[in-house]
């Protein structure tokens, strides 16, 4: 584990990482909390999926603009006020559900959370600045960040499900809002590790999304996000159909646990082969392993499904680490926050679509074909991600060969 120890020997690294982890934990809480809260109050998983999809879609639109402001003015100046607006949206959603407000208010309130800054991207930008001349250490840092993402998505659903079922349905959203604002304030206070702002740089040059190599990669992120979004909703519905709604959080946590462990191991390895080929192999493994939940859900109950999700998650972190490294290599340094937020935007867009499709499958396919049928949605999305990854890598290779 010496490579990870080297990361945190850098002055200020432990402090900004701790604050960022507190801010990132609610990312795994909000969707689960909203689904349980809305489905319980309004009796519709389709509505719950549509509301969360709307919030994620709004974030996908607003997120790059927030990141562009971060690149232009710095993390500390932008992240705190943006988070304050997002927290206000979460609290508004809580009140609307509590008061049984009209359905349209749920969509409006959740859309206001779109200003949530990309905390993971800001942390990755700090590592990229600290290890800009050390690719090996940067690879380890990227793997740690992905493992941290998975850790938050492992603990977040468990905490959200516990709070919503043991206390009251709105407790998950309330605690998540407090943690988000506290963590961002602590993270923003660590100024000495913050990447410097290059005056005028974010205003010049073309946006990363206009680079065909980046745009193609973002499509793969979109399909991968659909895997995550649909898997979450379908698992909540599957657990509810078996009379164990509170078990959905721990079951989803196992998928994140498998990914977290795989990410930490991947960070200790020396990458072999080209980044493009590694990316295709990782996405291929994810597509193959995502068939396991479908098979397990069709043949057994929650214990078998939980084991399949643990194994299926092991391809997620290596896929994301390799994809983020590819994206970073294709993004100008002055637009790094924007580039990484575009990746998160694509993921959120995919999660939004996956949440909507997953909610629809639980509501309509489940009664007709059984609660396991919803797992066809993440399996199909993973297969689409593989097809896209192969196409993107092949195009990038042909473009490179065509250059003199």
For residue 153, is pLDDT > 80? no
For residues 340-357, average pLDDT: 78
Is there a contact between 211 and 270 (Cβ–Cβ < 8 Å)? no
pLDDT for the residue 73: 81
Residue 331: band (very low, low, confident or very high) from pLDDT cuts 50, 70, 90: confident
pLDDT digits (tens, 9 = 90+) for 127-143: 888 887 777 777 788 77
Looking at residue 211, what is its pLDDT? 66
- Neighbour count for residue 65 (Cβ, 10 Å): 14
Q: How confident is the model at residue 273 (pLDDT cuts 50, 70, 90)?
A: low
Asked whether the predicted pLDDT for residue 205 surpasses 60, the reply is no
pLDDT-derived band of residue 164, with 50, 70 and 90 as boundaries? Answer: confident
More confident residue, 334 or 188: 188
Residues 263-292 as b/e (b if ≥16 CB within 10 A, e otherwise) read bbebbeeeeeeebbebbbbbbbbbbebbbb
Identify which has the larger pLDDT, 3 or 100: 100
Q: What is the reported pLDDT for 179?
A: 92
Q: What pLDDT, on a 0 to 100 scale, did the predictor assign at position 210?
A: 65
pLDDT tens-digit map of 215-235: 778 888 888 888 888 888 888
Could you tell me the pLDDT band of residue 206, with boundaries at 50, 70 and 90?
low
pLDDT digits (tens, 9 = 90+) for 296-324: 887 777 778 888 888 888 888 788 878 87
Model pLDDT, residue 182: 92
Quick one: CA dihedral 289, 374, 355, 43, positive or negative?
Answer: negative
Give whole-number Cα distances, 339 to 95, 148, 256, 342, 396, in Å.
35, 20, 25, 5, 18
Exposure string (b/e) for 117-143, b if CB count within 10 Å is 16 or more? bbbbbbbbbbbbebbeeeeebbbbbbb
Under CATH, which architecture does the 2-200+209-402 domain have? Answer: Up-down Bundle (1.20)
Q: Closest Cα partner for 30 from 82, 107, 75, 87?
A: 87
**More confidently predicted of 1 and 59:** 59
Q: How confident is the model at residue 401 (pLDDT cuts 50, 70, 90)?
A: very low
Mean pLDDT taken over the chain: 79
pTM for the structure as a whole: 0.70
Give the pLDDT score at 244. Answer: 64
Q: What's the pLDDT band for 340 if we cut at 50, 70, 90?
A: confident
Q: Is the pLDDT of residue 395 over 80?
A: no
| CA 115 from centroid of its chain's CA atoms | 15
pLDDT-derived band of residue 35, with 50, 70 and 90 as boundaries? confident
> Whole-angstrom Cα distance, residue 222 to residue 343?
8
Q: How confident is the model at residue 255 (pLDDT cuts 50, 70, 90)?
A: confident
Domain locations along the chain: 2-200+209-402
Percent of the chain surpassing pLDDT 90: 2
Percent of the chain with pLDDT over 70: 86
Structure confidence at residue 402 (pLDDT): 46
pLDDT greater than 70 at residue 400 = no
Residue 231 CA to its chain's centroid (Å): 13
- Cα angle for residues 265, 267, 273 (degrees, 5° grid): 105
Residues 60-87 have a mean pLDDT of 83
- Segment among 67-81, 265-279, 367-381 with least mean pLDDT: 265-279
């Amino acid at each position: 584990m010496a490579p990870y120890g080297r990361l945190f020997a850098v002055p200020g690294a432990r402090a900004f990482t701790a604050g960022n982890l507190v801010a990132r934990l609610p990312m795994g809480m909000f969707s689960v909390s909203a689904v349980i809260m809305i489905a319980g109050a309004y009796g519709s998983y389709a509505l719950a999926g549509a509301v969360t999809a709307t919030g994620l879609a709004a974030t996908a639109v607003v997120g790059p603009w927030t990141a562009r402001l971060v690149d232009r003015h710095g993390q500390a100046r932008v992240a705190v006020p943006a988070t304050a607006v997002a927290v206000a949206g979460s609290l508004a959603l809580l009140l609307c559900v509590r008061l049984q407000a009209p359905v349209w208010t749920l969509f409006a309130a959740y859309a206001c959370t779109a200003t949530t800054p990309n905390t993971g991207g800001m942390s990755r930008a700090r590592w990229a600045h600290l290890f800009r001349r050390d690719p090996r250490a940067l690879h380890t840092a990227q793997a740690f960040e992905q493992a941290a993402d998975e850790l938050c998505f492992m603990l977040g659903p468990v905490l959200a499900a516990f709070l919503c079922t043991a206390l009251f349905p709105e407790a998950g959203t309330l605690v998540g809002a407090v943690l988000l604002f506290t963590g961002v304030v602590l993270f923003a206070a660590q100024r000495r590790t913050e990447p410097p702002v290059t005056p005028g740089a974010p205003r010049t040059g073309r946006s990363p999304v206009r680079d065909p190599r980046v745009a193609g990669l973002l499509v793969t992120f979109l399909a991968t996000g659909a895997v995550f979004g649909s898997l979450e909703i379908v698992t909540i519905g599957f657990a509810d159909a078996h009379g164990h709604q509170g078990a959905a959080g721990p079951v989803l946590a196992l998928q994140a646990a498998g990914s977290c462990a795989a990410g930490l191991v991947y960070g200790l390895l020396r990458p072999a082969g080209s980044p493009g080929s590694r990316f295709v192999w990782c996405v291929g493994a994810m597509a193959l392993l995502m068939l396991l939940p479908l098979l397990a859900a069709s043949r057994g109950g929650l214990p078998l499904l939980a084991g399949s999700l643990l194994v299926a998650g092991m391809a997620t972190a290596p896929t994301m680490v390799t994809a983020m490294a590819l994206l970073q290599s294709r993004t100008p340094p002055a637009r790094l926050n924007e580039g990484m937020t575009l990746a998160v935007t694509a993921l959120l867009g995919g999660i939004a679509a996956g949440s909507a499709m997953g909610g629809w499958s639980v509501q309509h396919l489940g009664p007709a074909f059984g609660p396991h049928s919803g797992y066809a949605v993440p399996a199909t999305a993973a297969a689409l991600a593989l097809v896209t990854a192969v196409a993107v890598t092949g195009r990038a290779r042909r473009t490179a060969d065509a250059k003199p």
